[in-house]
Amino acid sequence: PGKKVLIVYAHQEPKSFNGSLLKIAVEELTKQGCSVTVSDLYTMQFEPRATRNDIVGHLHNSEAFNYGVETWEAYKRGGLSKDLVEEQKKVQEADLLIFQFPLFWFNMPAILKGWMDRVLVQGFAYDLSKVYDGGLLQDKLSLFSFTTGGGPEMYSKEGIGGDIRYVLWPMQHGIMHFCGVKVLEPHICYAPENVSEEKRKEMLAAWTQRLKTLWKEEPIDCSPEWYFK
Amino acid sequence: PGKKVLIVYAHQEPKSFNGSLLKIAVEELTKQGCSVTVSDLYTMQFEPRATRNDIVGHLHNSEAFNYGVETWEAYKRGGLSKDLVEEQKKVQEADLLIFQFPLFWFNMPAILKGWMDRVLVQGFAYDLSKVYDGGLLQDKLSLFSFTTGGGPEMYSKEGIGGDIRYVLWPMQHGIMHFCGVKVLEPHICYAPENVSEEKRKEMLAAWTQRLKTLWKEEPIDCSPEWYFK
C-alpha cells in the first residue's frame, strides 16, 4: 500500500495474453493501494535506437560520437532528450519495476532492449565503480514477467533450449543487478498460444495470486550459482 | 574466394573502434576475392520495432494482432515490407554472416536485436519443427564480433560479469543455431576504450590475421557444454 510500481510493457496487442497479464497487474496492484504507472512502449512508439538525437544541444566531442560518453555528459548537464528524462523520472519514483513482454529470440523484444539501452545511462543508473551492489538504483525491486513460444520441457536443463535461467542472466544480472536493483523470481508463462483455454485461465489466476503476496517475497540471490548451478 | 559475406554492423560512428573492425573486415575479405555486403543499421536508420507496418496489405487476423503469425503468413504470400525483403535477400545469398557491434547490457544493441526480431521470421529462417540443426538457414556460417566496456578479468568465470560465454548463449544458440546457422568462435575485443593505442593496434592486427584463415576454421560445437562447462 502506497508503493509505486512502474510496468514497462512491450506487446503490440491489448487483447494478447501479455495484455491480459498487464491488465491483471494494474488492477491487482491498484486494488492493493499501489500507485501504478505503465510505459506501453509500442503505443508510445518508443524509440529503441541509441543515437545522437538523445542528446539535446552540443556534443561533448563532436569529432567522434561515443554514445556512452555523450549520454553520461548530457545527463550531468540535464541535456538528455525529453522521452528519456520522462522514463528516468518514472524509474526514480518507482519501488518496483515490472517488465512484461513476450520472449523474442531468447531475449526481450528490441523495443524493450532499446528502453534499457537508452534510459539506464551512466550517471543515472550506475557510475564509475558504482555498479552491482553499489549501483545507483538501490532500494528498488524488479520482476521480469514474460511469455514463451516453447514449452517448459524445451527450456529445461536437458532441453534443446537449455535452462530458462540461462536467458535470465543478461537481463537480471547484466542489467538490473548491475544497476543495484534487486530481482524477484521471474514470472514465466510457457507457451500460452499452445495450451487450452482452461490452462490459460489458470495461468492468469496464478499471476493474480502471486501479486497478492508479492511484497512479502525475498529477492533472489543474484549470483552465478542461481543461474548455472 | 567467391564466397559471399554479409556484415550486419551496429555502430553510430565510423571513426569508432567498431568502425575500424568493420573496415578491416571489408578490406581483408574483399582482398581474398569475397563479395562483401554491409548492412550499416544506424546509417540505414533500420527500424527495430516489430509492428503491423511490417505486413503489406491485409492482416491474416485483424481482430488481434499476433506478430509471429502475421509475419509468417505475410512471408508465405510475399507480403513483408520492403526493408525486410531486402535484408532476407542478403541473408539468403550469404555464406557467412558477421555481426559487428559493441556489447550493450550483456547483449547486442536494440537496433541489431530488432534486425534479428524482424528479419528472421518463421517460414524464412525456421518453420514448424525445422529448427536448430533442421533450421532453414543451413550451410551458412555466422560470427559475432564485438567490443566490451569491461576487461577480460570481469568476464571470467570468477569475475562479477561471469564467463563471457554466458552472454553468447542467447545470441549464438538461441538465434543462429535455432535457424540452422553454424557458429564460428566469437571475436571479442575487450575494453578498447581503456587500453593503450599500441594495444588497440594489436587488437586490430589480430582481427586482420584471423580473417586470413577464417575459411579454414571449424564451427564451434554449439552445445550447452561449450557455454556452461
B139 CB burial (10 A radius; 0-12, 13-18, 19+): exposed
Lowest mean pLDDT across A20-29, A133-142, A152-161, A172-181: A152-161
Question: Which of A16, A104, A167 lies nearest to residue B64, judging by beta carbons?
Answer: A16
Distance CA A1, CA B218 (A): 58
Touching B: A residues 163-222, CB under 8 Å: 166-167, 169-171, 173-175, 178, 193
Q: Which residue has the cell 580473417?
A: B211
* C-alpha distances out from residue B12 to A217, B40, B204, Å: 42, 9, 19
pLDDT of residue B229: 81
Among B108, B111, B167, beta carbon nearest to A49: B111
A67 vs B12, B105, B162: nearest CB: B12
Q: How many whole angstroms separate alpha carbon B93 and alpha carbon B211?
A: 20
Q: Judge whether residue A77 has pLDDT over 80.
A: yes
Q: Is the pTM of this model over 0.80?
A: yes
Residue A227 CA, chain-centre distance (Å), reads: 18
- Please give, rounded to a whole number of angstroms, the shortest distance from the CA of B104 to a CA of chain A: 7
pLDDT at site B76 = 97
SS3 B79: coil
Stretches where chain B sits below pLDDT 70 are: none
Strand partners, B154: none
Are B49 and A174 in contact (CB < 8 Å)?
Answer: no
C-alpha cell at B3: 564466397
* A38 three-class SS: strand
ipTM of the complex: 0.97
Fold of domain A4-228: Rossmann fold (3.40.50)
Q: What does the pLDDT average to over A66-70?
A: 98
Task: Map grid coordinates 534487486 to a residue.
Answer: A182
Q: Please report, for chain A, the start and end positions of each structural domain, with discontinuous segments joined by +.
A: 4-228
| pLDDT for res A210 | 98
For B111, the closest of A13, A15, A48 (CB atoms) is A48
pLDDT in tens, B184-205: 999 999 999 999 999 999 999 9
Per-chain mean pLDDT for chain A: 97
pLDDT for the residue B207? 98
pLDDT number for residue B36? 98
Percent residues over pLDDT 90 in chain A = 94
8 Å CB contact between B70 and B59: yes
Q: How confident is the model at residue A185 (pLDDT cuts 50, 70, 90)?
A: very high
Contact B117 A104 (CB under 8 A): yes
Across the range A102-128, mean pLDDT stands at 98
* A110/B48 CB distance under 8 A: yes
pLDDT band for A226, please (50, 70, 90 cuts): very high
φ/ψ (deg, to 5) at A127: -155, 180
Is residue A90 very low, low, confident or very high in pLDDT (cuts 50, 70, 90)? Answer: very high
Q: Are residues A66 and B13, on separate chains, in Cβ contact within 8 Å? A: yes
Q: Which 108-147 residues of chain A touch chain B by CB within 8 A?
A: 108-111, 113-114, 116-118, 120, 132
Residue numbers in A near B178 (CB within 8 A):
105
**Residues of A numbered 24-63 whose beta carbons fall under 8 angstroms of chain B's beta carbons: which are they?**
42, 45, 48-52, 63
Of B110, B117, B228, the CB nearest to A49: B110
CB contacts, 8 Å: B229 with chain A: none
Greatest pairwise CA separation for chain A in angstroms = 60
Q: Coil, helix or strand for A117?
A: helix
Cα–Cα separations (whole angstroms), residue A203 to A31, A61, B32, B140? 20, 51, 55, 39
C-alpha span between A81 and B66 (Å, rounded): 32
pLDDT at A1 over 80: no
